[in-house]
Structure 1
Amino acid sequence: MKLGCLNLVLFLISVHLLNYCWSENRQQQQVSALTVLEHTEENVGESKEEATVEDDLDPEDMEVFYPTNDWQVVKPGKVRNVRLNLETGKNEAKIPDGETGKTGLKYWKQGTRHGMVNLDSKSFTAEELKKALKLMKLESNTQTEEGHQEKLRETFRPIKELMADFEAMNVVMETDMEIINKLVSKFNSSGATLEDKVAALYDLEYYVHQVDNAQHLMSIGGLQLVIKALNATEPRIQEHAAFVLGSALSGNPKVQIEAIEAGALQKLLILLATDQSMAMKKKALFAFSSLLRHFPFAQQQFLKLGGLQILGQLFQAKGMESLRLRIMTLLYDMVMEKKLIQGTQDDSVPHQEKCRQYDELNLLPLMLEQDWCTMVPKLLTSSEHDTREKVLRTMNLMISSCRSEYQAIQGLSSLLDMLQSEYEGLAAEEQKEGETDGYFLGLLNSANDIIKQLK
């Protein structure tokens, strides 16, 4: 009986000691297990609140094992120096032999969570915390950059691999200039058929829209070949050559100078003055307009060669009604160029030289002499608003010199009154929709200006 009582007392003492040890071990873990929530350095300083920590242990915290010099129960996982306690049937682990004397900070990472263990003590200094946070921030930035690079590698293939694939498929990457070289060689080949030449010109027109490509065509002698082709006996060659020339000349002063020196202006005037198809006339007029615009020297040569008279004949020719608006627009643009240049205040040498060249142009007086005052208003009978707009603005530009001619045109006054009434209604509808400066209001103002000046 005494033996049983003694065993009971020993059992109660053992339970008490186990509870005490378990409580002490839990407190030690709470002190020495640090989980950092923020990776920024602003949370570390000399202030009283040295770091942000997570005090309560959730189930994920328990997955992190902190070894000591004594054997501890661990959950199943990859932990070094583990033994099975045969008495309790549980796994235990401790610091491996030979590492007992090691000190310092131990860092750990589990998924997106970071932490560290101080093997020397149960607390951390501000410097230790700052060092740990720097390390974690650096690691996070490195991983972000590596992830970005990996995403780029998955999205885009290296150029070497693409080039290898193209070579395997017999696909050769060529620059625009290389293609232009081949097209010029194809067009100039003695063995090229009519279809080959037409196809080469057709493809060239696509590339020479770009300024650099057009200048490259000029540098390799291709522009001279195109200008020469304007004299070809085959109309299809002439037509496509004019189209290529017009595209190469547009807004390209260097090519314009080369073309005027190569005699392109004379050849285009011949095409406009002789019996040609409508398609040929359109392409020739396109190239002609591209050569003259913003090029006062070419405009001077145009007047000297009788170009204005040729345009006047083409304007009045039967079957060429679709070209009239293009011709009138070209003349309007040339007159406005001179007016705008002369109205710009600029003391630079290039501007003064350009003004001098435009001063030598007398396009508007020649237009008045050649009866353009009566030819332009005839287009006002068109039912298209775009055509009316261009005619009204041209009439306004010429009205100071053409007032008497306008007044003498039979039916012009009633036509202007009709347009005024029509555009008043359309402008009112625009204003109802909230457009205070609409398209039809502009047409109405143009018509009103002419009507006022004719009274």
Structure 2
Amino acid sequence: MELGCLNLILLLISVHCLNYSWGENSQQQRASALTVVEQTEENIGKRKEEATVEDDLDPEDIEVFYPTNKWQEVKPGQAIPAGLHVRLNLETGKNEAKILDDGNGKDGLKYWKQGSRHGMVNTDSKSFTAEELKKALKLMKQEGITDIDEGHEEKVRKTFRPIKELMEDFEAMNVVMETDMEIINRLVSKFNSTSATLENKVAALFDLEYYVHQVDNAQHLMAIGGLQLMTNALNATEPCIRENAAFVLGSALSGNPKVQIEAIEAGALQKLLILLATDQPLAIKKKALFAFSSMLRHFPFAQQQFLKLGGLQVLGQLFQAKGMESLRIRIMTLLYDMVMEKKLIQEVQDGSAQHQEKCHQYEKVNLLPPMLEQDWCILVPKLLTSTDHDTREKVLRTMNLMISSCKNEYQAMQGLSSLLNMLRSEYEELAAEEQGEGEQDGYFLGLLNSVNDIIKKLG
């Protein structure tokens, strides 16, 4: 009876000990994950005295039992690995444990695993060689990776659907990816359809404008006859169609020589001039001027045609028309750009045949003389009364460009001298504030220099 109770007690203690994990022995300063230490001469000398073993066990595992082939006392709260002989010493009343006599594994090494935790016991001694540590670490990594991979694979399988199923769903929904050119084809067909409503046509033009900003797309529009369609739409009876057609043309023409040539051959320049010269809503005038500017910039042939068709006179009338004040800066900027284009081309020292041909084309564009004849020397300085610094900057820039030809007109303008002196005082203060903030070449200093240049040239 007494022997049966003893066996029962030993069995309970064994089951209890199987649930323990390796902890940290604070007295011996050992941790419990495996860190491989390279075998330097210093390490070889010390490896039988101590081993560097670290782990990320829970903080409460504060003391570890290191078994040998002899019975040793298991202190209260001390963690022991699974697979040991455990007994209750009836003489002392304390628990004791030792390594199984037959062991498992070679070279005195015993590996154990409990859940996601791993450990190793050296049955020959309390220390481990570097080779033993590497071997144990390799085994633990292999087991850990296998577990993680299997769990990760299962998680992915539950979270994501197979590509085959996705492809089948896309086919069922008739999802079709269109290229830009296919979209342009569809939009042109939609606009040109006899069954399309006014709202449909405006929507098609709105979408087309977005796509033709790209050079290739604009050229594709030209290739399928869309450019001619937009040019013809400038004569549409509906104002919203004329406005949006001009907008599409302006975006397609901008910086695109091939489209510029095609558009002028299609008669777009004349039709845009008609929109600018006739009574039209401001919205149409803005879009027409945008397309007109895109047609003329960096295209000397179109500039020649502009002068022949009386375009400068049309812009002069638009500049002075009531209700069109918002267009004045745009008109002045366009004229300034065309004058500067010719000037910069002529100043470039380039003996190539291509450059010589370009110079020859710009020589036929004499924009400044008719500007002087049509009182642009008087029209431009009037915009200096604006309180907007950006507007003043563009006016001063244009005045400086024209001053050699407009000097007499500037000197004769009543109030211009006092206005320039007032601007100089204002920009001296603003430039000083900029310099005080560390900006040596600030925006207002540039405006001050422009004002001073004009005053000096007029003096």
Q: What TM-score do you get using the length of structure 1 for normalisation?
A: 0.71
Alignment length (residue pairs):
421
Once the 2 structures are TM-superposed, how far is the Cα of residue 164 of structure 1 from its aligned partner?
8.3
Cα distance change, pair 193–377 in 1 and its aligned pair in 2 (3 A): same
Q: Secondary structure at the match of 1:406?
A: helix
Partner of 2:42: 48
What is the match of residue 405 of structure 1?
A: 409
Q: Judge conservation of contact 2:67–2:97 (CA < 8 Å) in 1.
A: no
Match of 1:223 in 2: 227
- 1:309 positional shift: 2.9
Q: What are the within-5 Å matches in structure 2 for residues 206-245 of structure 1?
A: 206-245=210-249
Distance 1:201 1:424, change over 3 A: same
Q: Deviations over 1:246-283 (max 9, x none)?
A: 22333344433443343322221222222322221111
Cα distance in 2 for partners of 1:442, 1:151 equals 64
Q: 2:275 aligned with 1:271, yes or no? A: yes
Greater percentage in helix? 1
Contact 2:104 2:110 in 1 (8 A): no
For residues 184 and 424 of structure 2, the distance between their equivalents in structure 1, rounded to whole angstroms, comes to 52
The aligned residue for residue 313 of structure 1 is 317
Residue pair 2:219, 2:259 contacting (<8 A) in 1 also: yes
**What is the one-letter code of the residue matched to 2:41?**
S
Q: 1:413 deviation in Å?
A: 2.1
Q: Is the alpha carbon distance of 1:328 and 1:219 closer, same or farther for their aligned partners in structure 2, counting shifts above 3 Å?
A: same
Select 1:427's aligned residue among 431, 436, 440: 431
Q: 2:52 is matched by which residue type in structure 1?
A: V
Residues 81-115 of structure 1: per-residue CA shift (max 9 Å, x gap):
57775886979685596x64744866668899876
Decide which of 271, 283, 286 is 2:290's aligned counterpart: 286
- 1:262 equivalenced with 2:227 (yes/no): no
Q: 1:137-216 alignment to 2 at 5 Å?
A: 176-216=180-220
CA distance in 2, matches of 1:228, 1:91: 103
Shift of 1:406: 1.7
Residue 155 of structure 1: CA displacement? 11
Whether 2:64 is the aligned partner of 1:60: answer no
Letter in 1 for 2:412: A
Distance 2:40 2:195 in 1: 88
Shift of 1:151: 11
Q: 1:196 to 1:116 in 2, by over 3 A?
A: same
Name 2:252's counterpart in structure 1: 248
Distance 1:187 1:284 in 2: 20
Among 432, 435, 441, the alignment partner of 1:437 is 441
User: Take 2:359 and 2:146, find their aligned partners in 1: how far apart are those partners?
Assistant: 63
In structure 2, relative to structure 1, the CA distance for the partners of 1:175 and 1:448 (3 Å cut) is same
Q: Supply the AA of the counterpart residue of 1:44.
A: E
CA distance in 2, matches of 1:148, 1:396: 72
Distance 1:346 1:309 in 2: 34
Which stretch of the first structure deviates more once superposed, 370-379 or 123-132?
Answer: 123-132
Q: 1:417 to 1:224 in 2, by over 3 A?
A: same
CA gap of 1:246–1:110, structure 2 versus 1, over 3 A, is farther
User: 1:151 & 1:450 partners in 2: Cα distance?
Assistant: 75
Measure, in 1, the Cα distance between the counterparts of 2:364 and 2:341: 13
Deviation string for 1:144-171 (max 9, x for gaps)? Answer: 9999999999999999898888899998
Contact 2:73 2:95 in 1 (8 A): no
Gaps of at least 5 residues in structure 1 are: 1-29
Percent of aligned pairs with the same residue? 73
State the Cα deviation string for residues 308-353 of structure 1 (Å, max 9, x = none): 2322232233443332211101111222233334445667776665
In 1, Cα distance between the equivalents of 2:448 and 2:266?
46
CA distance in 2, matches of 1:449, 1:155: 71
Deviations 1:180-214 (A, max 9, x none): 44332221111112222122222333343444544
Q: State the 1:370 CA deviation.
A: 3.5
Contact 2:35 2:133 (C-alpha < 8 Å) held by counterparts:
no
Greater shift after overlay, 318-327 or 80-89?
A: 80-89
1:374/1:405 contact within 8 Å kept: yes
> SS in structure 1 opposite 2:42?
coil
Distance, in Å, in 1 between the alignment partners of 2:389 and 2:372 is 25
* Matching residue within 333, 337, 342 for 1:333: 337
Q: Deviations over 1:7-45 (max 9, x none)?
A: xxxxxxxxxxxxxxxxxxxxxxx99x9845657xxx514
Q: Which amino acid aligns with 1:445?
A: N
Matches of 1:167 and 1:385, distance apart in 2:
58
Q: Deviations over 1:48-89 (max 9, x none)?
A: 136871599996375688797999979999977577758869
Question: Comparing 225-234 with 294-303, which one deviates more in the overlay?
Answer: 294-303
In the alignment, which residue of structure 2 is the partner of 1:389? 393
Q: Displacement of 1:433 after TM fit?
A: 4.5
* Secondary structure, counterpart of 1:49 in structure 2: helix
Alignment of 1:74-85 (within 5 A): none
- C-alpha distance in structure 1 between counterparts of 2:155 and 2:349, whole Å: 56
1 CA distance for matches of 2:359 and 2:180?
37
How far, CA to CA, are the matches of 1:156 and 1:340 in structure 2?
61
For 1:137 and 1:348, locate their aligned partners in 2 and report how far apart those are by CA, in whole Å.
Answer: 71
CA–CA distance in 2 between the matches of 1:131 and 1:309? 93
- Return the alpha-carbon distance in structure 2 between the equivalents of residues 83 and 329 of structure 1: 98
Deviation at 1:174, TM superposition (A): 5.7
- 2:236 and 2:448 map into 1 onto residues whose CA distance is 48
SS at match of 1:361: coil
Using the TM superposition, give the Cα deviation of residue 402 of structure 1 relative to its aligned residue in structure 2, in angstroms.
1.8
Q: 1:47 to 1:303 in 2, by over 3 A?
A: farther
Structure 2 residue 418 is the aligned partner of structure 1 residue 417: no
Whether the 8 Å contact between 1:186 and 1:192 is mirrored in structure 2 is: yes
Q: CA deviation at 1:292?
A: 2.0
Structure 1 residue 244: Cα displacement:
1.8
Structure 2 CA distance for partners of 1:138 and 1:403, relative to 1, 3 Å: farther
Distance 1:146 1:288, change over 3 A: farther
RMSD between aligned alpha carbons? Answer: 5.0
Q: Is the 8 A contact 1:177 1:216 kept in 2?
A: yes
